[in-house]
């Protein structure tokens, strides 16, 4: 097998690529001219019986930036002992933390960022996929199906908005309907409900649909959540059940001995966990390498998304997409999604690129979104776009989830390679990772479930959703709820203060934004940002010059303009 792949890579990519075997995976080394050749080499190697691809190929004259690190350095965690250490504060890490909080154990979650859901878990469309896209029998298919069903109950327990709107796959050529039976076969294999809609039925459901659309297929179990609010909700639920969180904490090294992790080094001290869970997203391959268990590589796949003004939200109900019918594609093609808050999201794109933290957007990406998706709804224009952003998918070359106990390190568990449909799959992944973890822990010590576990978490109240009488009563009790700070989203001072003092406190402008949406409207914080800064200053007793947008050195105010003459 190795010689066969070596020969294929030499012929199709470069004679300078060297193949070897390591940890049950195929390892690629050498130098090529472009990133695309790195990616294509990995895909060729993945089409084999090896368990994974370790792609160490370098691109000539391309220097990849090192991982961004927190500025903080202290000894807060020095010599701290825990039962379980979770690395990563995205949807996977937080859902695992909540699941483990059901047990009488000491669990600590660390993340290198200033808040939860900073990377992929806040940079997606929040879709709870129905499960039609994954290859039957794959981990994606299994976890997507299980996870989707769990969200109805979870939405009630976590007090999050969840709209099961259904997802529509559209076709605009009459002859494409003859290819749709392929979807029926896939739906049967993945146990996904579906129904064909003709043009008249589709128009009845989506009255603003483009006249060019001939029909579609509805998958009624698809839904939408707010990705950042949902991640934070999982985290807060874990926190109220005694899981510890340490943000601004980066893992710098993992020391192993006799195939077991002995301790973990961070910028805040040395940790001694009995078990480590690798849920580090795009950096999960680097964590695996630190622990001496590298058998996969994350190749970053960027997706750009456009956000439309709420005033066009009434023009869409379901999730709409017009993807390729090629089931071998690594992307579902994006679409139009109505968020739980009422905006429409368009995208994402799917571009292979080498940078794990590159969230730039491009004219090409935005134009691709406009040309592909906006035309599917009559009356939506590019002038309705109020902002755009991007996210990075944590893709492996095998294009499937890695959910398993390490085959090499006895106290390491992997929850890696989680790309779409990762959000839909997260609760089911958490169940299995928790079971694996507890089984390992039971070999070391006695573990029992909590008798007083708290399943319900309350969200920050939303003033604009209240009746006039409810608002009046609340404002009379606390006048802060009567002072509107964000006019676009109608967010009060009281809601912002609640976010600052929530179980996982918001200490930055973006932290407030993710929890209560101050700054997410048409003006994108142009009016309310200074007011939010002032509230953070007052509530945290923190100098205004120290208030940041998103941690580190992203200071919102650089200098005072009015000072006494003697201080000038």
Tell me the three-class secondary structure of 83-103, residue by residue.
EEEEECCCHHHHHHHHHHCCE
| Domain-embedded: residue 561 | no
CATH number at residue 269: 3.50.50.60
Are both 454 and 470 inside the same structural domain?
no
Q: Which of 459, 479, 503 is the last residue of a domain?
A: 459
Are both 155 and 170 inside the same structural domain?
no
Are both 217 and 314 inside the same structural domain?
yes
Burial class of 410 by CB neighbour count within 10 A (0 to 12, 13 to 18, 19+): middle
Are both 325 and 372 inside the same structural domain?
yes
| CA 172 to the chain's CA centroid | 31
Instruction: Calculate helix-pair angle for 509-516, 529-540, nearest 10 degrees.
Output: 110
CATH number at residue 500: 1.10.10.1100
User: What average pLDDT does the chain have?
Assistant: 96
Residue 129 annotated as catalytic: yes
CATH number at residue 361: 3.30.9.10
Burial class of 566 by CB neighbour count within 10 A (0 to 12, 13 to 18, 19+): exposed
Angstrom distance (rounded) from CA 519 to CA 531: 11
Nearest-5° Cα angle at 547, 508 to 517: 30
Are both 312 and 423 inside the same structural domain?
no
Are both 514 and 539 inside the same structural domain?
yes
Report pLDDT digits (tens) over 354-369.
Answer: 999 999 999 999 999 9
Report pLDDT digits (tens) over 308-345.
Answer: 999 999 999 999 998 765 555 555 678 999 999 999 99
Output the six-digit token pair for 319: 């999730």
| Domain-embedded: residue 565 | no
Are both 390 and 338 inside the same structural domain?
yes
Mean pLDDT, rounded, for 511-536: 95
Q: Quick check: 235 and 89 in contact, CB under 8 A?
A: yes
| Domain-embedded: residue 25 | yes
Domain limits at 40?
1-59
CATH number at residue 35: 3.30.1340
| Domain-embedded: residue 64 | no
Reduce the DSSP state of residue 428 to 3 states and report it: helix
**Measuring CA to CA, which residue among 211, 212, 223, 178 is closest to residue 196?**
178
Q: What is the DSSP string of 139-155?
A: HHHHHHHHHHHHHHHHH
Report pLDDT digits (tens) over 59-82.
Answer: 999 999 999 999 999 999 999 999
Query: CA-based diameter of the chain, in Å?
Result: 81
Of 119, 129, 299, 414, which residue is the catalytic one?
129
Q: Which of 394, 419, 440 is the last residue of a domain?
A: 394
User: Residue 100: its pLDDT value, please?
Assistant: 99
DSSP assigned state of 377? B
| Domain-embedded: residue 566 | no
Are both 169 and 304 inside the same structural domain?
yes
Q: Quick check: 265 and 252 in contact, CB under 8 A?
A: yes
User: Residue 568: its pLDDT value, please?
Assistant: 39
Are both 354 and 420 inside the same structural domain?
no
| Domain-embedded: residue 474 | yes
Are both 22 and 80 inside the same structural domain?
no
Q: Give the whole-number percent of the chain exceeding pLDDT 90.
A: 93
Number of domains the chain is built from = 4
| Domain-embedded: residue 30 | yes
Report pLDDT digits (tens) over 238-269.
Answer: 999 999 999 999 999 999 999 999 999 999 99
Report which secondary-structure segment, H or E, holds 42: helix 35-46
| Domain-embedded: residue 333 | yes
Q: Is the pLDDT of residue 178 over 90?
A: no
Are both 30 and 41 inside the same structural domain?
yes
Q: Give the whole-number percent of the chain exceeding pLDDT 70.
A: 97
Are both 311 and 390 inside the same structural domain?
yes
Q: Which of 394, 409, 438 is the last residue of a domain?
A: 394
Omega before 421 within 30 of 0, i.e. cis? yes
Q: Quick check: 337 and 319 in contact, CB under 8 A?
A: yes
Report pLDDT digits (tens) over 79-95.
Answer: 999 999 999 999 999 99
Q: What's the pTM value of the predicted model, to 2 decimals? A: 0.96
């Amino acid at each position: 097998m190795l010689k066969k792949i070596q020969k294929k890579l030499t012929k199709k990519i470069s004679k300078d690529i060297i193949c070897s075997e390591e940890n049950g995976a195929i390892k690629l080394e050498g130098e090529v001219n472009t990133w695309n050749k790195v990616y294509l080499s990995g895909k060729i190697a993945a089409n084999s019986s090896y368990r994974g691809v370790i792609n160490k190929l370098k691109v000539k004259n391309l220097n990849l930036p090192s991982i961004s690190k927190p500025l903080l350095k202290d000894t807060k965690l020095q010599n701290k002992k825990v039962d379980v250490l979770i690395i990563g504060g995205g949807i996977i890490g937080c859902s695992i933390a909540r699941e483990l909080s059901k047990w009488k154990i000491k669990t600590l979650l660390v993340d290198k960022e200033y808040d939860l859901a900073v990377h992929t878990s806040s940079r997606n469309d929040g879709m709870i996929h129905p499960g039609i896209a994954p290859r039957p029998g794959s981990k994606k298919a299994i976890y997507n199906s299980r996870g989707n069903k769990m969200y109805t109950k979870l939405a009630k327990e976590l007090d999050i908005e969840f709209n099961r709107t259904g997802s529509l796959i559209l076709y605009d050529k009459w002859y494409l309907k003859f290819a749709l039976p392929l979807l029926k076969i896939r739906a049967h294999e993945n146990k996904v409900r579906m129904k064909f809609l003709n043009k008249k039925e589709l128009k009845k459901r989506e009255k603003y649909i483009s006249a060019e659309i001939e029909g579609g297929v509805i998958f009624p179990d698809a839904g939408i959540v707010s990705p950042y609010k949902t991640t934070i909700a999982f985290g807060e639920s874990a926190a109220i059940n005694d899981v510890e969180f340490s943000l601004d904490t980066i893992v710098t090294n993992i020391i192993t001995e006799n195939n077991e992790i002995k301790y973990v080094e961070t910028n805040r001290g040395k940790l001694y966990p009995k078990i480590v869970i690798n849920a580090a997203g795009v950096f999960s391959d680097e964590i695996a390498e630190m622990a001496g268990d590298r058998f996969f590589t994350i190749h970053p796949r960027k997706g750009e998304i456009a956000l439309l003004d709420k005033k066009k939200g009434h023009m869409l109900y379901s999730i709409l997409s017009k993807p390729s019918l090629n089931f071998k594609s690594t992307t579902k093609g994006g679409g139009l999604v109505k968020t739980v808050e009422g905006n429409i999201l368009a995208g994402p794109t799917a571009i292979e690129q080498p940078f794990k933290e590159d969230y730039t957007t491009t004219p090409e990406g935005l134009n691709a979104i406009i040309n592909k998706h906006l035309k599917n709804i009559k009356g939506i224009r590019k002038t309705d776009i109020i902002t755009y952003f991007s996210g990075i998918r944590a893709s492996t070359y095998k294009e499937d989830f890695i959910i398993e106990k390490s085959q090499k390190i006895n106290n390491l568990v992997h929850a890696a390679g989680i790309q779409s449909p990762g959000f839909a799959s997260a609760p089911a992944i958490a169940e299995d990772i928790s079971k694996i973890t507890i089984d390992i822990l039971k070999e070391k010590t006695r573990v029992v479930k909590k008798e007083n576990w708290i399943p319900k978490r309350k969200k920050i109240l939303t003033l604009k959703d209240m009746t006039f009488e409810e608002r009046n009563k609340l404002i009379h009790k606390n006048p802060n709820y009567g002072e509107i700070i964000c006019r676009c989203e109608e967010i009060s001072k009281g809601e912002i203060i609640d976010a600052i003092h929530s179980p996982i406190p918001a200490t930055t402008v973006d932290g407030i934004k993710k929890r209560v949406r101050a700054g997410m409207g048409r003006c994108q914080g142009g009016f309310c940002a200074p007011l939010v800064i002032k509230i953070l200053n007052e509530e945290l007793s923190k100098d205004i010059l120290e208030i940041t947008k998103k941690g580190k050195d992203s200071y919102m105010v650089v200098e005072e303009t009015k000072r006494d003459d003697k201080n000038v």
